[in-house]
């Protein structure tokens, strides 16, 4: 039995052993397998190039794509996505721009800078440091105390018609006398001032740079003077003063992109008083580490600010009447909140949720969402434009980064309930990639730009409609080549015409001709609103890359 079992076992094992031996012999005779291909080297930059490229990303890209590159108006640029595109494709996108509204960078950055940026975007994003209330307080400088300031206006300038003009790449604002068309003063500020806002009294100009520097400029002095300054964060976009009766000039608020927070300040000294983080969940219930503060407006019917949080899609109604017991009402809307403005009654606030292709409407009387209006792709209204439509009554308009139309939304739920909070008409813009629409209560016209259009002719032109004719389905815009009228000569950079702004009386509209290159000429073109003819071209070596323009009277009173 034992021998029989042994034989059976040998019969079972022997074939297996023979197969193993045969495989080993075959392996000895076969050539060695080719080595596996080496993994591609991780993208890298020298420390010097990385630092320079990071600075460029902050200055040129973070506004749309986020400091952490998680995307908002622009796409997510984390390595998981950029590595799929690869170096050559990324360079091409940056060189030529996109139809979604990204400008072509071939006239702004060198080929090496574009190449370095493509590499940088394939490397992991690094989170910037935090910036607390203590940090803000340490950065605060009260340059001229309130009791050392003039008690009356010490100059003869018509302050109501002064324009605060952003000189993007020089880190300054030019205060231009709207009556004489002369530069009154150039004031050093933070990098690429995003907006200027006015105190309720009209005396002070509040300016915020994209680098988070906040300056308070007094216009009662003989020459405009910075009386207080601080650093609100590492990146910021929005500021506003308190406007409710009894709180005029009392408080100010600044919203930061990084860290994501808003900070309440003394309105006359900029002393930091309270800091509130906006980190939290999106409207979809997903935590987001970088919910940036976009536009802020001040209510005139309550002691409140409307603060829009971009990535979460949440709108904060902040009651500033008791800072020790700060009250926030949070309204869910849609991602990604950006810019917007009041309707003509200043009860309803309309804000673009641009990557969601919607406009959110907030009823500030009830602190509730009134509507989410579907629009064309990527609405970008600036403050928008209010006017009376021949058929639908009071309306508000927005242009679009991603579509060549102007959407007109009904804003009269009592007088025209059937058309309230709906797109009642779309007008053809001369091109997509628009940033601003503009009109004025005393104007008969509606204007729109398209500065980010890749076609230089479109980027340098504006569309203008006669409001009385807008109800006609066959209405067409007059297209005016503002860049050609500026006659600044040949430039390497595209001559982009951006942001129409009216003077205080509503009979002129000013446009910036922005080349995007601080070494080249720029200009401001003043157009007669009635005749649509150029009245004046403001040229001055100090006008370095002018972009936004903010008329004191119109900004004080939210006229658009």
Q: Among residues 64, 219, 314, 556, which one is catalytic? A: 64
Q: Among residues 94, 102, 198, 458, which one is catalytic? A: 102
219 flagged as catalytic = no
- Residue 186: both structure tokens together: 């150039």
Contact status, residue 101 vs residue 404, Cβ threshold 8 Å: no
Read off the pTM.
Answer: 0.86
Q: Among residues 206, 357, 380, 440, which one is catalytic? A: 380
Number of domains making up the chain = 1
Q: What is the pLDDT along the chain (560 residues), one digit of tens a residue?
A: 333 333 332 333 333 333 333 333 344 444 555 555 555 678 999 999 999 999 899 888 988 898 899 988 789 999 999 999 999 999 999 998 886 678 788 878 999 999 999 999 999 998 889 999 999 999 999 999 999 999 999 999 999 999 999 999 999 999 999 999 999 999 999 988 999 999 999 999 999 999 999 999 999 999 999 999 999 999 999 999 999 999 999 999 999 999 999 999 999 999 999 999 999 999 999 999 999 999 999 999 999 999 999 999 999 999 999 999 999 999 999 999 999 999 999 999 999 999 999 999 999 999 999 999 999 999 999 999 999 999 999 999 999 999 999 999 999 999 999 999 999 999 999 999 999 999 999 999 999 999 999 999 999 999 999 999 999 989 999 999 999 999 999 998 899 999 999 999 999 999 999 997 888 999 999 999 999 999 999 999 999 999 999 999 999 999 99
Q: Quickly count: other Cβ atoms within 10 Å of residue 246's Cβ.
A: 8
Q: Is residue 249 part of a domain?
A: no
Q: Quickly count: other Cβ atoms within 10 Å of residue 22's Cβ.
A: 10
Q: Among residues 194, 206, 288, 338, which one is catalytic? A: 338
557 flagged as catalytic = no
Q: Among residues 65, 194, 430, 440, which one is catalytic? A: 65
194 flagged as catalytic = no
Q: Is residue 107 part of a domain?
A: yes
CATH number for the domain including 109? 1.10.760.10
Q: Is residue 62 part of a domain?
A: yes
- Complete DSSP assignment for 296-335: EEE-SSSSEEEEEETTTTEEEEEE-S-GGG-EEEEEE--S
Q: Among residues 61, 314, 458, 556, which one is catalytic? A: 61
Contact status, residue 254 vs residue 267, Cβ threshold 8 Å: no
Residue in 459, 493, 499 with CA at minimum distance from that of residue 479: 459
Domain span holding position 113: 47-120
Q: Is residue 64 part of a domain?
A: yes
Beta bridge mates, 362: 349, 369
288 flagged as catalytic = no
pLDDT of residue 177: 98
94 flagged as catalytic = no
Q: Is residue 80 part of a domain?
A: yes
64 flagged as catalytic = yes
């Amino acid at each position: 039995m034992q021998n029989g079992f042994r034989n059976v076992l040998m019969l079972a094992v022997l074939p297996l052993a023979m197969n193993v031996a045969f495989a080993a012999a075959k392996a000895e005779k076969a050539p060695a397998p080719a080595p596996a291909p080496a993994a591609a080297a991780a993208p890298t930059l020298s420390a010097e190039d990385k630092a320079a490229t990071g600075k460029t990303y902050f200055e040129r890209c973070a506004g749309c794509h986020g400091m952490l590159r998680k995307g908002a108006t622009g796409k997510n640029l984390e390595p998981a996505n950029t590595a799929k595109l690869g170096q050559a494709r990324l360079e091409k996108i940056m060189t030529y721009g996109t139809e979604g509204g990204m400008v072509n960078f071939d006239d702004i950055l060198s080929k090496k800078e574009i190449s370095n940026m493509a590499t940088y975007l394939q490397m992991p994003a690094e989170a910037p440091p935090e910036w607390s209330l203590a940090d803000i307080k340490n950065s605060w400088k009260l340059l001229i105390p309130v009791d050392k300031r003039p008690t009356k206006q010490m100059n003869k300038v018509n302050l109501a018609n002064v324009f605060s003009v952003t000189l993007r790449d020089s880190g300054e604002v030019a205060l231009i006398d709207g009556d004489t068309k002369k530069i009154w003063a150039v004031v050093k500020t933070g990098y690429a001032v995003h907006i200027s806002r006015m105190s309720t009294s009209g005396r002070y100009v509040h300016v915020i740079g994209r680098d988070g520097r906040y300056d308070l400029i007094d216009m009662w002095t003989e020459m405009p003077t910075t009386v207080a300054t601080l650093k609100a964060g590492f990146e910021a976009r929005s500021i506003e003063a308190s406007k409710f009766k009894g709180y005029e000039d009392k408080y100010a608020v600044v919203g930061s992109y990084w860290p994501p927070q808003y900070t309440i300040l003394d309105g006359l000294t900029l002393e930091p008083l309270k800091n509130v983080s906006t980190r939290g969940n999106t409207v979809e219930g997903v935590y987001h580490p970088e919910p940036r503060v976009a536009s802020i407006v001040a209510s005139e019917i309550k002691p409140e600010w409307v603060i829009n949080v971009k990535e979460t899609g949440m709108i904060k109604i902040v009651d500033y009447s008791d800072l020790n017991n700060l009250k926030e009402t949070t309204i869910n809307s849609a991602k990604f909140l950006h810019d917007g403005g009041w309707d003509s009654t200043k009860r309803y606030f309309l804000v673009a949720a641009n990557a969601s292709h919607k406009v959110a409407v907030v009823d500030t009387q009830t602190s509730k969402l009134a509507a989410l209006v579907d629009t064309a792709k990527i609405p970008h209204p600036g403050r928008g434009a209010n006017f009376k439509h021949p058929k639908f009554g009071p309306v508000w308009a927005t242009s679009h980064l991603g579509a060549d139309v102007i959407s007109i939304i009904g804003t009269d739920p009592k007088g025209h309930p059937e058309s309230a909070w709906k797109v009642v008409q779309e007008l053809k813009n001369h091109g997509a990639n628009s940033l601003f629409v503009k009109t004025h209560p005393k104007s008969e016209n509606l204007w729109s730009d398209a500065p980010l259009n890749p076609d230089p002719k479109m980027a340098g032109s504006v569309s203008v409609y006669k409001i009385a004719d807008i109800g006609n389905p066959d209405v067409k815009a007059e297209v005016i080549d503002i860049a050609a009228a500026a006659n600044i000569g040949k430039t390497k950079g595209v001559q982009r015409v951006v942001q129409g702004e009216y003077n205080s009386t509503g009979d002129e509209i000013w446009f910036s001709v922005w080349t995007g290159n601080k070494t080249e000429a720029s200009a401001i073109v003043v157009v007669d609103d009635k005749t649509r003819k150029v009245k004046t071209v403001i040229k001055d070596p100090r006008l370095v890359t002018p972009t936004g323009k903010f008329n004191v009277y119109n900004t004080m009173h939210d006229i658009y």
